[in-house]
Chains A and B, each alone.
Chain A
Amino acid sequence: MKISDLLPLLPILLISGVVVLNLLIIAFYRNHLLTAALTGAGLIGACVSTVAVYSFAPRQVTHLIIIDGYSIFYMALVFAAGFVVTLLSYRYLELLEDDQEEYYVLLLLGTLGSSVIVASSHFASFFLGLEILSVSLYALIAYNRNDPLGIEAGVKYLVLAATSDAFLLFGIALIYADTGFLDFTQIAKSAGSGHVGLIIPGTGLLIVGLGFKLSLVPFHMWTPDVYEGAPTPITGFLASVSKGAVFALMLRYFTKVDIHTNNSLVLVFTVIAVASMFGGNLLALLQNHVKRVLAYSSIAHFGYLLTAFLASGSLAVTATSYYLVAYFVTILGAFGVIAALSGCRGEPDLLSSYRGLFWTRPMLGGVLAAMLLSLAGIPLTAGFVGKFYVMAAGIGSHLWFLVACITMSSVIGLFYYLRIISVMFSKIPEDFEETGLPDVSGIAAAGLALTVLTLFLVWLGIYPSSLIEVIHKMMSSCA
């Protein structure tokens, strides 16, 4: 490793620096606003620095990390999402009685882990990144120590993530035993030589491990419980950053290894995709708990995304990237509204607490409705263009069956999105007492985040070509 290799790593180093700085500051002087501001500034700085790093791309930094257009794009996305989560968290944390500052350290660590994952070209760096992410999430999910649900969710996530890591490690070990490499490119070379051995069971175990992280059916059981118990901004983080980073890595690895030549792998992913679409959407139908509905919805969305994953060609990579951006904006916005609505007595979890939201809080109600319509894939929102792209990629690769499944399952999904929207605009109940939101600072930060997300949602929905342009440019260097 040379000194000049450090410069392309600037975003990752920057985040690590802010983590250390935050730890030092907390040790001497506790101040919520200061820590939050520093975290936000660090994430923005890292996001901006990705632009500077772009001039180095593509650059292999040691065997572990690759800085190319693909990783820079996803890093920027991860940092931006981390920034939004920071904005949404501030007010939410003000409601807690505990110390707030460590939360930001953990959040930064989670973002750091995710950015390492998207930039890794080697199983060692992937696993390290994944562990940084997971360990910070264990603590974040159970951050509210007074909430038994949160503790339960944290423990559940701990046990299941550890199990899935075991699968993952075993899979990696088998692949290593067969090929003698941990480096993606080398593995792809020896896998392409036509020899069949331990790499097949190894890949199978790898898929199990990744499936847990992406909460694909049948590895999804933990999702609703953890999403329900975690602090809402962290739920947003779980649904967006942690899943998106793992998906980006999966796409990179399996594009290198070229799954399209392996019919049994394609079959496995097809089955998982269909099961996730239908499983997610059907299970969400009769849920009365909004966070659980969104959890199931995110399961279904990764089923859709797998269709683009299975499609081949440049259209597939563009479709995946566009879809992930749209999905990030939407799911963060949806959880953001829930976070903004939570008061001292907890979060508005049941569907009935959203009754008449349109009339009592038109702005928040409107934003949530827009986000739900985007999840449902209705035009004028980013979700529509994303879904359109995924369907186009699927049909372009003749995956008619999967696209038909998307069509059918999203019609099913429409029902529960509309159910929430219908509740929001129904009449205000007679015994409704205007409680008002607790008076804590930080509502402006959440408001800013939600405004920006909504503007993005509409902009990406009406005029997607600018983002497509960016994606084309970034992805041209790889894939």
Chain B
Amino acid sequence: MTLVYLIIIPLIAGIVSWVSARKNPVWPRWIALSALFAQMLIIISLWIGHSIELNSAHNGVWIASVDLTWIPQLGIGFRLAMDGLSLLMVALTSILGMAAVICSWTEIKDGVGFFHFNLMACLSGIVGVFLAMDLILFYFFWEVMLVPMYFLIGIWGHENRIYASIKFFIFTQAGGLLMLMAILGLYFIHGSITGAYTFNYFELLETPLSAWSSMLLMLGFFAAFAVKIPVVPFHTWLPDAHTEAPTAGSVILAGLLLKTGAYGLIRFILPLFPSAAHTVAPVAMMLGVIGIIYGALLAFAQTDLKRLVAYSSVSHLGFVLLGVFAFNELALQGAVMQMICHGISTGALFIIVGALQERIGSRDLNRMGGLWASIPRISAVGLVFALASLGLPGLGNFVGEFLVLLGVYSVSPWMTVPAAMGLVLAVIYSLRIVGKAFYGCSDDRSRIQDLWPREALLMAGMILAILWLGLFPQAVLNTVEPALKAIQEKAGSMSYKSGQAAVYTDILSYFQTSQVVTETQRNGQNR
């Protein structure tokens, strides 16, 4: 039942804070914060309680599960389960949820109760997505998180919020409905072959599919996830939604909603349709690379700081797509690492942009400059996360991107080269933020308020998190390893074409040494 609590706690807190806002507009903030804190405690206790199991893959990957009847007539159950991957994602949800509550402390003044209700409802939908092991339940949560996010953007957003919120809703809904079709198709194929009509994820994993139907169903799922991640031709909702959303909305969007798409790729597409996934892998990896380059180039061209960060998300999530479709453990681990680190670093960048907008009333890079002199703390934090975003070793994102590149290099060096170029471009646009906003000549802005203590505390926590992820990634990698191994087993590895075998021997030997390195690292840490 612990897993049910993880979903219910934010929801109930949301309702309570909505009601409590009539009494006092500060209460919703504290209620939301404490609920998320409680949720965090549950996650930590789960993590610690199962750390031994998580580190030995043989004891089974699932650390908790729930199976209740819901709509038995259709074989739909309320099935939740948690493995290392889900655990990390839920933990990220909890952390970014707290960040979202804190960063909207002064920004949101109207409709505080309803705002927090939407925020918390969205968070509980996201947690549900990460835990659901019944395809209809998954779809249910997938859609449930949409509506509150639509309200968050549409009500508390910036100038062009109605356009952005409707666009966001329609894009994701279109992808989602295609996924629903694919889910139903899988259900009937499974039912007609085995006689058991069920949406249970674990049973559907065993469905024998013909190549053709596997491909069609996979594309249905891919449509939903590609819109969310977003993969490049489907990304146009993202800059609008991120830019127009209030700060908390941007944090949740970039930090969590995009991750649900990546999570869906790992959890559903790889194990459910391994052969079809292998078939499209080259295309998907190509799209990932295009995303990396295209996102970075567009990020560089923006003057709206929020839009810049939004496009950088497109670029960073390209690494995730690339890593997932490389079909090896290193790249997959890198993808997960990248998901977590991107959540934290981009979330923090959005918070900084939000703080700047609140203080100087603009997101336009050309109207900033020389901010370091007047608000040194914000500027320093901005520098840290800009460095994280460009992949500086020692900070989390580096680990993710490096592992992805390493893993991809072993299967497709030609993809790695342009992807690595993306890192260079990241340096350009990240340093542009720092250079344009924080350095340079200063107008007279001596009266700007620097970080409030509350925000400073939040930022300190996020810096510590990104440092920890960068310096000691092994804790995360170990947690997620059994889950990824199980998925990897279902999905198989990338097969090499025989003619290219010679090219790969070098790479493979390098790959093996790097494995030794990680092994020794791990041993060193265990000691």
Contacts and interface: CB of A to CB of B under 8 A. Distances in A.
Contacts of A396: 188
B66 interface: no
Nearest to A425: B155
B466 interface: no
Contact of B178 (A384, A407, A426, A463): A407
B181 A395 contact: yes
A469 B73 contact: yes
A348 interface: no
Contacts of B166: 415, 418-419, 422
B143 A425 contact: no
A414 B173 contact: yes
A378 interface: yes
Contacts of B188: 395-396
Given A414-B173, A418-B170, A403 B181 contact: yes
A107 interface: no
B417 interface: no
Of B150, B170, B180, the most chain A CB neighbours within 10 A belong to B180
Contacts of A407: 174, 177-178, 180-181
Contacts of B476: none
B154 A465 contact: no
B146 A378 contact: yes
Given A415-B166, A419-B166, A391 B184 contact: yes
Overall SS of chain A's interface: helix
Contact of B184 (A380, A392, A468): A392
A384 B170 contact: no
A63 interface: no
Contacts of B71: 464-465, 468
B151 interface: yes
Contacts of A395: 181, 184-185, 188
Nearest to B166: A418
Contacts of B361: none
Interface string A396-412: 10000001100100110
B144 interface: yes
A379 B179 CA distance: 14
A220 interface: no
A422 B162 contact: yes
Contacts of B74: 392, 468
Contacts of B136: 388
A463 B146 CA distance: 20
A362 B105 CA distance: 24
Contact of B144 (A380, A392, A403, A465): A380
Given A407-B177, A411-B177, A378 B143 contact: yes
Interface string B153-180: 0110000001001100110011001101
Interface string A101-132: 00000000000000000000000000000000
Contacts of A419: 166
A380, A388, A391 pick with most chain B CB within 10 angstroms: A388
Interface residues of A, number: 29
A411 B166 CA distance: 11
B147 interface: yes
A388 B143 CA distance: 13
Interface in A378-392: 378-380, 384, 388, 391-392
A369 to B, nearest CB: 9
B510 interface: no
Interface in B61-104: 69-74
B154 A425 contact: yes
B181 A388 contact: no
Contact of A373 (B73, B140, B147): B147
Contact of A379 (B143, B165, B181, B184): B143
A472 interface: yes
Given A395-B188, A418-B170, A464-B71, A426 B180 contact: no
Of B144, B173, B178, B185, which is in contact with the most chain A CB atoms at under 10 Å from its CB? B173
A465 B70 CA distance: 7
A469 B174 CA distance: 31
A411 B162 contact: no
Contact of A422 (B72, B146, B165): B165
Contacts of A403: 181, 184
Contacts of A380: 144, 147
Interface in A27-65: none
Contacts of A373: 147
A426 B166 CA distance: 13
Contacts of B177: 407, 410-411
Contact of A378 (B73, B147, B151, B165): B147
A418 B144 CA distance: 15
Nearest to B139: A379
B170 A415 contact: yes
Nearest to B189: A395
A395 B71 CA distance: 19
A317 to B, nearest CB: 13
A469 to B, nearest CB: 7
A376 to B, nearest CB: 8
B123 to A, nearest CB: 16
Contacts of A410: 177
Nearest to A418: B166
Given A395-B185, A404-B181, A411 B170 contact: yes
Contacts of B162: 422, 426
A379 B144 contact: yes
Contacts of A414: 169-170, 173
Given A379-B143, A388-B180, A396-B188, A418 B155 contact: no
A347 to B, nearest CB: 25
Contacts of B70: 463, 465
Nearest to B177: A407
Contacts of A388: 136, 180
Interface string A437-479: 0000000000000000000000000011100110010000000
A391 B181 contact: yes
Contacts of B144: 379-380
B520 to A, nearest CB: 49
A379 B140 contact: yes
A76 B151 CA distance: 37
A424 to B, nearest CB: 10
Contacts of B169: 414, 418
Residue of A404, A415, A422 with most chain B CB atoms under a 10 A cut-off: A422
Nearest to B178: A407
A12 B458 CA distance: 68
B392 to A, nearest CB: 42
B72 A465 contact: yes
A14 B388 CA distance: 76
Interface centre among B151, B173, B177 (most CB of A within 10 A): B177
A465 B147 contact: no
Contacts of A418: 150, 165-166, 169-170
Contacts of B69: 465
A474 B146 CA distance: 36
A349 to B, nearest CB: 21
Contacts of A391: 180-181, 184
Nearest to B169: A418
Nearest to B162: A422
A219 to B, nearest CB: 28
Nearest to A403: B181
Interface of A: 373, 378-380, 384, 388, 391-392, 395-396, 403-404, 407, 410-411, 414-415, 418-419, 421-422, 425-426, 463-465, 468-469, 472
16 contacts: A373-B147, A378-B147, A380-B147, A388-B136, A388-B180, A395-B185, A403-B184, A407-B178, A411-B173, A415-B170, A419-B166, A421-B154, A425-B154, A464-B71, A465-B69, A469-B73
Rank and list the top 6 A-B pairs by shortest CB-CB distance, nearest first.
A407-B177, A379-B143, A411-B174, A395-B184, A465-B71, A422-B162
Given A379-B144, A465-B70, 14 more contacts: A379-B140, A392-B184, A403-B181, A407-B178, A414-B169, A414-B173, A418-B165, A418-B166, A419-B166, A421-B154, A425-B151, A425-B155, A464-B71, A468-B73
